[in-house]
């Protein structure tokens, strides 16, 4: 029987076999390149199976987003899941109130500025409130592209320390079949142009069922802005925030 181990030179033959094996492994690795990682996009789920709003993902321990006992997260922390979805290309952003801020600087990046600090800022604006509806005349947000955002404190006191939220938060604008699925659900429920607060909240709940955080938050915020005493809207707002995961799995 043929053997790679030569009985006259057992050590040499054994080394030759090891090098041959290593060479084959290297050749196999060079012939099968590892695909580059791509960001994960959470897909919508049908209304029969609502999805949660995860605030944790890779590196969760360093990307904690705490939800306070009252409405909204901790100071400057995003009022949003870690990887959110938007149906409209005009997302509504909100973050925790900072009592030492006279204003805030909102910055939106193309890409995930957490994993890529050199991600390009495509929109910046100073605002007095701890929220922002993305302007129509700002840079167009493209469907399916990964974006991230962050809020910075502009201190009331000139000697105050500038501060940013701990967690840049990523999101996508729905595209293709995902967007079509939500559109069809809105049409079927006759919720394309709701007029009453009740129907507007129904639209918000439908977005929630498909995991579309930013539109659900915008709707309930607008209903509460029109009538702060709306108990149904207030309860839904608190319920929506409670769905943000507080602990990693």
Q: Three-state SS string across the chain, please?
A: CCCCCCCCCHHHHHHHHHHHHHHHHHHHHHHCCCCCCCCCCCCCCCCCCCCCECCCCCCHHHCCCCECCCCCECECCECCCCEEEECCCCCEEEEECCCCEEEEEEEEEECCCCCCCCCEEEEEEEECCCEEECCCCCCCCCCCCCEEEEEEEEECCCCCCCEECCCCEEEEECCHHHHHHHHHHHHHCCCCCCCCHHHHHHHHHHHHHCCCHHHHHHHHHHHHHHCCCCHHHHHHHHHHHHCECCCCC
pLDDT value at residue 98: 87
Domain boundaries in the chain? 60-242
Q: What is the mean pLDDT of each run of 10 residues along the chain (249 residues)?
A: 36 39 42 41 46 45 29 70 93 91 94 93 95 96 95 79 76 93 96 96 96 96 96 94 64
Q: Just give the CATH number of 60-242.
A: 2.60.40.10
Whole-model pTM: value is 0.71
pLDDT value at residue 107: 95
pLDDT value at residue 82: 86
């Amino acid at each position: 029987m043929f053997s790679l181990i030569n009985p006259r030179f057992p050590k040499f033959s054994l080394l030759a076999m090891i090098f041959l094996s290593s060479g084959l492994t290297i050749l196999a690795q060079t012939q099968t390149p590892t695909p580059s990682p791509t960001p994960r996009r959470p897909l919508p789920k049908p209304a029969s199976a609502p999805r949660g709003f995860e605030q944790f993902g890779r590196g969760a321990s360093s990307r904690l987003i705490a939800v306070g006992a009252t409405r909204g997260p901790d100071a400057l922390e995003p009022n949003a899941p870690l990887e959110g979805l938007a149906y409209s290309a005009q997302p509504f952003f909100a973050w925790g109130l900072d009592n030492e801020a006279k204003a805030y600087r909102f910055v939106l990046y193309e890409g995930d500025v957490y994993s890529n600090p050199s991600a390009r800022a495509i929109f910046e604006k100073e605002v007095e409130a701890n929220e922002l509806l993305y302007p129509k005349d700002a840079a167009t947000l493209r469907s399916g592209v990964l974006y991230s955002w962050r809020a910075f404190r502009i201190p009331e006191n000139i000697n105050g320390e500038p501060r940013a939220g701990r967690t840049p938060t990523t999101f996508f604008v729905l595209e293709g079949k995902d967007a079509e699925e939500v559109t069809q659900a809105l049409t079927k429920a006759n919720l394309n142009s709701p007029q009453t607060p009740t129907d507007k909240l129904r639209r918000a709940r439908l977005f929630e069922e498909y995991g579309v955080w930013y539109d659900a938050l915008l709707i309930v915020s607008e209903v509460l802005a029109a009538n702060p005493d709306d108990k149904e809207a207030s309860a839904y707002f608190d319920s929506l925030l409670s769905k943000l995961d507080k602990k990693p799995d």
